[in-house]
Structure 1
Amino acid sequence: MPPPSSASAPAAHHLRLWWRRRGRAGAVGATFAVALLAAALLLALSYYASVTPVTSSSSGRRPALVGLTLVRRAEEKGALCLDGSAPGYHLQTGSGSGSRSWLIHLEGGGWCRNLKSCASRKRSMLGSSRYMEHHVEFTGILSDDKYQNPDFYNWNKVKIRYCDGASFSGNVKDELQNGTKFFFRGQRIWEAVMNELLLKGLGHAKQAFLTGCSAGGLATYIHCDAFRALLPKDSSVKCLADGGFFLDVEDISGKRTIRAFYSDVVRLQGLREQFSYCNSNMEPGQCFFPREVVKDIVTPVFVLNPAYDAWQVQHVLVPEASDPQHAWLNCRLDISKCSSNQLEILQGFRKDLHDAISELKQKGDWGIYINSCFVHCQSLNSFTWHSPSSPRVNNKTIAEAVGDWFFDRREVKEIDCEYPCNPTCHNLVFAKPFKA
């Protein structure tokens, strides 16, 4: 993987990741930037998924570099990043049979729970377009390489940058918070970008696919039906959430760390009013979990998640504060280093995911692909999306399964066996634990 660009340097610390195959040691990754902001839960681990090798497919082609477009008259629309700068997106025009097909991807990157952590984001590409790269590589599901992306390679493809800190869902009118300007306007960013894309051809789409990774995966659940409503009634519209099914579970110390974190996000950005399903009997944070969001979705959705999501293991199941003696340190860095007792807890976490999606398995028009890998976000990376060495479930790569489902070639409900049963997994190995 290439080193981070200068634009990503303000995002905070550098971290070295390695892909490990079949449990063997050996590095095939490289250093890249991840936003390590005020709290560990703000870590933008999903960012690694957008950074892939220069020669990222079996054809040896270089990934396309796609330029940044800033939203026009953003200030007039009130559609602004946390720091008040204009939001942006990258658009690659489709061709041939894909000229009236659109794939929209919502970028991920954690959330901010208070003014201090949001202030840190304002000084990074996750809170300001001033720090965003002017060009990004389109790989995985965004690739224009037929070998890497056989079903969507020639579509119009868009990557919407994430700079609001709340999964494109806040809409706070007041700009001043404790005397400092913050713009919690994710909902307006969503609407402004959609309006521009509708004028650029999305409004005449025959096929449209809303996708997202991590916090962008959560945003995909939130906006899926609204996306469907924007498009012609006779168009085929579906959604895919990658690594976005965050679980409302207790951590190893018995606390609901992630629910408390989400409650802070919901209060800070006034999200309760945004979600009609969020009733007074629910804690604020509960409204933000996919298990609640999906109950009202009528548009077909593909749920793509690893059973042992690396981000969730490190920050939902075993957040640093829950392990003061560092008994889980090696396991958090490398699933192959987990003890038998720790693996038993991880298998329980896997069961929690299966229980949470149990009703979705009954929806015939929904797709599910749960593999047994220790990873986070798999659709944007050429290794995990579609390559000779991609992880497989029932001998299908993720790209093949998603394509089969989107084009109704077959029903897709792929549920992998328990770790370490799948030798095709690419499991992340961390050089050191994340630090706040």
Structure 2
Amino acid sequence: LLGTVLLGARRFRGGRNPQPRRAPPSPTYRERGDTTESFPLDFTAVEENMDNFMKQVKNLAQSLYPCSAQKLDYDMKLHFLENSSVTCNDGTPAGYYMKESLGSRRWLIFLEGGWYCFNKENCDSRYETMRRLMSSSKWPQTKTGTGILSPLPEENPHWWNAHMVFIPYCSSDVWSGASAKTDQSGYAFMGSLIIQEVVKDLLTKGLDKAKVLLLAGSSAGGTGVLLNVDPVADLLERRGHTTVQVRGLADSGWFLDNKQYRSTDCHDTVSCAPTDAIRRGIKYWGGVVPERCRLAHLGEEWNCFFGYRVFPSIKSPVFVVQWLFDEAQLTVDNIHLTGQPVQEGQWRYIQNLGIELRNTLKDVPAMFAPACLSHEIITRNYWIDVQVKGTSLPRALYCWDRSFYDNSRNNKAPPKGCPVHLIDSCPWPHCNPTCPTIRDQFTGQEMNVIQFLMHMGFDVQKMAQQQGMDPSKLLGMLSSGS
């Protein structure tokens, strides 16, 4: 197969160009084509150059079958849970979107994010303004995957061929609740149960034969990964599926329980200090946390919602993706970037946030932490462009996967040029030149690094003095992305 692909790739390089019109297929061929043909190949065995291999396979397939390639259905389709007693906040059925990938033994289950609510008042407000995050009543029938959920190799070079599952967030409980709707609460909070029921449903759809299950999520979904990756592994083990390797990918869910820049009264998730909101929420939701973390924080289970506190108790391998200057973290810390230059105290607070995050991540073996001001990345189409020390996130995830493959063969030495512990060392937001583009919140104009830092109130003269260098030299370094 590999020889054929390589030959085909050479013959059909540039296979995206229009192909010569072919004669219509014979009636016999058409009749055969009416039923879906599958080729149950396990591509996970190709380890040396997976990215290039997958691109060649797709280009060859499109070159050989240009007509059928246009009809490929890339969308994930909506399924409601078999167990109808597990619901969204308002009692409507919970569910998931799924796209199968015939022949693959890799599964990716993604948990959507979207903040949370922690009492009747702000949950009522959330229901009025963000109903799709509390109800399935208006979910569309299909959903198109992007970033790590994309079926296109050029957008998703390592995971495009996996079975894709997207679980919409409709429980408002950081994927932790296990309580039915009551007259007192007015809502059901069943985030942890939704995940368990989705996994049970998928076992009847091929997950029982999986080699790898990657539980991924962004924002509240990223925190949900930290809370649920071990319970998912335990569920599969209890059901006898011990050969499925369960791993986690937590994006933008590594929050800090730090002191706010400016304290305010606790009314909603934006004004409330992180610890206060979670303390209230866990009681309101009937939230559950992993058993090992619960035992480590008896009576203070809220600790388990903060990455650096729950991580030491997690048994499953987890890859952490975290912006060093996370916009959601800054929001709950009462740093609001409104378009006005920040004050010196705010600037110091922002820089200290990066230092604090670095300190909490230093013992995480597999991670990707760019010095950018942003929030969420793995489902963005630009996720392949951001780099830390010359390595992109898809490449780092490939290296992480490769490390399990090598370890299973008792090869302890990591492959050269394949790092999995990647964290920026530069000290301010967007000092990494591959950060996502920033736009002025009022004009919509793109800003380069210098414009952005000046917009943030960055004092070039003062910073140059602190670094012991000439201001013009510092500006030159910023311009070149050094």
The partner residue of 1:177 within 154, 161, 183 is 183
CA drift at 1:428: 4.3
Q: Is the 8 A contact 1:207 1:235 kept in 2?
A: yes
Indicate the residue corresponding to 2:315 in structure 1. 298
The partner residue of 1:314 within 328, 331, 334 is 331
CA drift at 1:133: 2.7
Q: Which has the larger radius of gyration?
A: 2
% of aligned pairs identical?
28
CA drift at 1:282: 5.5
- With over 3 angstroms needed to count, the CA separation of the structure-2 counterparts of 1:170 and 1:240, relative to structure 1, is same
Is 2:295 the partner of 1:289?
no
The partner residue of 1:117 within 111, 118, 122 is 122
Give the Cα separation in 1 of the matches to 2:373 and 2:84.
39
Is 2:255 the partner of 1:246?
yes
Is 2:287 the partner of 1:271?
yes
Q: Show CA shifts across 1:34-82 (max 9, x none).
A: xxxxxxxxxxxxxxxxxxxxxxxxx9x999332211112412xxx1100
Q: Trace 1:225-264 onto structure 2 (pairs within 5 A).
A: 225-229=230-234, 230=236, 232-253=241-262, 257-264=273-280
Give the Cα separation in 1 of the matches to 2:284 and 2:153.
43
Q: Show CA shifts across 1:171-212 (max 9, x none).
A: 124x3233x641112222111111001111111101221100
- With over 3 angstroms needed to count, the CA separation of the structure-2 counterparts of 1:107 and 1:250, relative to structure 1, is same
CA drift at 1:213: 0.5
Give the Cα separation in 2 of the matches to 1:347 and 1:391.
20
CA drift at 1:273: 7.2
- SS of corresponding position for 2:137: helix
Indicate the residue corresponding to 1:324 in structure 2. none
CA drift at 1:348: 0.4
- SS of corresponding position for 2:133: coil
- With over 3 angstroms needed to count, the CA separation of the structure-2 counterparts of 1:217 and 1:415, relative to structure 1, is same
Give the TM-score normalised by structure 2. 0.66
Select between 374-383 and 248-257 the one with higher mean Cα deviation.
248-257
CA drift at 1:258: 1.1
Q: Show CA shifts across 1:344-367 (max 9, x none).
A: 22110011112222332xxxxx41
- SS of corresponding position for 1:191: helix
Letter in 1 for 2:362: S
Indicate the residue corresponding to 1:405 in structure 2. 400
Is 2:362 the partner of 1:358?
yes
Q: Show CA shifts across 1:320-347 (max 9, x none).
A: 6xxxxxxx6336xxxxx44554332211
Indicate the residue corresponding to 2:82 in structure 1. 72
Give the TM-score normalised by structure 1. 0.73
Indicate the residue corresponding to 2:228 in structure 1. 223
Q: Show CA shifts across 1:223-261 (max 9, x none).
A: 111222316333433210000001110111257811111
Is 2:219 the partner of 1:214?
yes
Letter in 1 for 2:394: A
- SS of corresponding position for 1:176: coil
Letter in 2 for 1:234: T
Indicate the residue corresponding to 1:363 in structure 2. none
Q: Is the 8 A contact 2:107 2:210 kept in 1?
A: yes
Q: Which runs of 5+ in 2 are unaligned?
A: 1-61, 63-69, 265-271, 404-414, 443-482
Indicate the residue corresponding to 1:56 in structure 2. none
Indicate the residue corresponding to 2:374 in structure 1. 375
CA drift at 1:114: 0.6
Give the Cα separation in 2 of the matches to 1:200 and 1:274.
27
Letter in 1 for 2:192: Q
CA drift at 1:407: 2.2
- With over 3 angstroms needed to count, the CA separation of the structure-2 counterparts of 1:140 and 1:63, relative to structure 1, is farther
Indicate the residue corresponding to 2:90 in structure 1. 83
Give the Cα separation in 2 of the matches to 1:272 and 1:226.
11
- SS of corresponding position for 2:274: helix
- With over 3 angstroms needed to count, the CA separation of the structure-2 counterparts of 1:63 and 1:248, relative to structure 1, is farther
Is 2:352 the partner of 1:348?
yes
Q: Show CA shifts across 1:239-293 (max 9, x none).
A: 1000000111011125781111111111101226765534677645333222222
Is 2:139 the partner of 1:129?
no
Indicate the residue corresponding to 1:393 in structure 2. 388
- SS of corresponding position for 1:212: strand
Give the Cα separation in 2 of the matches to 1:283 and 1:237.
27
- SS of corresponding position for 1:131: coil
Letter in 2 for 1:176: T
Q: Is the 8 A contact 2:109 2:167 kept in 1?
A: yes
Give the Cα separation in 2 of the matches to 1:167 and 1:254.
23
Letter in 2 for 1:103: L
Q: Is the 8 A contact 1:90 1:159 kept in 2?
A: yes
Q: Trace 1:19-30 onto structure 2 (pairs within 5 A).
A: none
Indicate the residue corresponding to 2:58 in structure 1. none
Give the Cα separation in 2 of the matches to 1:368 and 1:132.
33
CA drift at 1:395: 1.4
Q: Is the 8 A contact 2:257 2:274 kept in 1?
A: yes
- With over 3 angstroms needed to count, the CA separation of the structure-2 counterparts of 1:68 and 1:430, relative to structure 1, is farther
